[in-house]
Amino acid sequence: MDFRFTEEQNNFRGEVRGFLEGEIAGGLFKPGCDGWIHGFSPEFTRKLARKGWIGLSWPKEFGGQGRSNVDRFILTEEILRYGAPAALHWFADRQIGRAVMHFGTPEQKKEMLPRILHGDAWVGLGLSEPEAGSDLGSVQTRAAEDGDSYIINGQKMWTSCARYMNYMYLVARTDPTAPKHRGISEFIIPIPLPGVNIVPTIDITGTEAWGEVFFDNVKIPKTNLIGEKNRGFYQIVNQLDYERSGMERLMGNYPLFEALIKFSKETMRHGKPVCQDPLVRDKLARLQVEFEVGRLLTYRVAFVIDQGRVPNTEAAMAKVYCTAFEQHLADLATKIVGMYGQLTEDSKWAPISGMAAHSFLGSMGYSLQAGTSEILRNVIATRGLGLPEA
């Protein structure tokens, strides 16, 4: 086993860092937490696209660069390290493009893939509903056949990118009479459309990264169906492994980690730097160990994908572990920074740009989105350990 990156990979990492540092210096963005969820910048997304850094690991036949997933994880690791605004293309690059490559018709590939690669397709994820989260098979949004069309009625919630999306990846019930997992289909639909109403969700951090999407007799052509009708649930399962497995589960708040270490070195308390406190040192060191373990678990996922295997239990393990790290980081940050750490970035008194408060609030959702930790531990228990279903 060789834990080193190749020289080419190290050079690539350097190239990405150089690009990001240049963009920060040029004022395109300011490093922040949750840039992959909350950072919406068409300019940044299109600049990445022009460098060929969207679709980096897609096969060349679909316009990608044919690079490895380890390379892609290096790229995303650096984007997250610098807290860059990558939300507009993140979901399409990570999973929707793959779904289209895998299940799409030639026409769908021709329409969607170049748009994703150019940074022009901003795809929101429309799976969850008020009564369907962990149990996705309970989806009630209905897509009823009507000649050459489907008529959509229902509601989605927690749709990422809702305010900005120009496409929505939609999961809907196409056969209400079939057993629940066998009557679901996947669609990609352009947004806006008559009858689609988007209500932003203002989350606990005060940002609008998600939304509720209501469908009232929305007519879409049958050509928007992705893959096989009523097989959607089985198509999605694979996609979720890719959703769970990235660097974003570990490094969404990385700018906070760096700022916290700097803060502890530079801030004086009781006549000495905070980092001289043995308890602070102990806790920061423990956090560093957790970070390194999480990083290895995550790169292992990239390795598994590059072997041509689906990263099922590996992705579940990485996400459970890494999101717990993010929550420990946020918790520790609020303690080390002290009472002022509860202030958000709009206060001039907020230390480290209010990242401690933002991260503390935001990280609560990390162990829910893309599969809760309880569900993922069930995956590890059954598929990893071979335990029988409960």
Ligand X SMILES: Cc1cc2nc3c(=O)[nH]c(=O)nc-3n(C[C@H](O)[C@H](O)[C@H](O)COP(=O)(O)OP(=O)(O)OC[C@H]3O[C@@H](n4cnc5c(N)ncnc54)[C@H](O)[C@@H]3O)c2cc1C
Residues in contact with ligand X by the rule CB under 6 A = 125-128, 133-134, 158-160, 210, 365, 368-369, 371-372, 374-375, 378
| Shortest Å distance, C-beta 370 to ligand X | 6
Cβ closest to ligand X, residue 70 vs residue 162: 162
Cβ closest to ligand X, residue 23 vs residue 34: 34
Phi, psi of 154 (to 5 degrees): 145, -160
Burial class (CB in 10 A: 0-12, 13-18, 19+), 91: buried
Cβ closest to ligand X, residue 337 vs residue 376: 376
| Shortest Å distance, C-beta 182 to ligand X | 19
Which residue is nearest to ligand X, using beta carbons? 133
| Shortest Å distance, C-beta 345 to ligand X | 19
| Shortest Å distance, C-beta 246 to ligand X | 14
| Shortest Å distance, C-beta 248 to ligand X | 12
| Shortest Å distance, C-beta 121 to ligand X | 16
| Shortest Å distance, C-beta 351 to ligand X | 25
Cβ closest to ligand X, residue 127 vs residue 284: 127
| Shortest Å distance, C-beta 266 to ligand X | 32
Q: How far apart are CA 304 and CA 143, in angstroms?
A: 36
Helix runs in the chain, H state only: 7-25, 35-38, 42-50, 69-81, 87-91, 97-103, 106-117, 232-244, 248-251, 254-266, 278-306, 312-337, 355-362, 373-379
Q: How far apart are CA 197 and CA 194, in angstroms?
A: 8
Cβ closest to ligand X, residue 151 vs residue 375: 375
Residue 386's SS3 state is coil
> What are the angstrom distances between the C-alpha of 243 and each of 34, 40, 236, 355?
16, 19, 10, 25
| Shortest Å distance, C-beta 146 to ligand X | 25
* Sign (positive or negative) of CA dihedral 359, 364, 367, 373: positive
Q: How far apart are CA 287 and CA 264, in angstroms?
A: 14
- For residues 151-171, one letter each, b for 16 or more C-beta atoms within 10 angstroms of the residue's C-beta and e for the rest, the string is bbbbbbbbbbbbebbebbbbb
Cβ closest to ligand X, residue 88 vs residue 336: 88
Cβ closest to ligand X, residue 235 vs residue 264: 235
First to last CA, the chain: 36
On the CB side of 258, CA atoms within 13 Å amount to 13
Cβ closest to ligand X, residue 171 vs residue 336: 171
- Name the β-bridge partners of 198: 213
Residue 33's SS3 state is coil
Q: How far apart are CA 358 and CA 204, in angstroms?
A: 9
Cβ closest to ligand X, residue 136 vs residue 274: 136
Q: Which of 125, 24, 27 lies closest to 83, judged by CA? A: 24
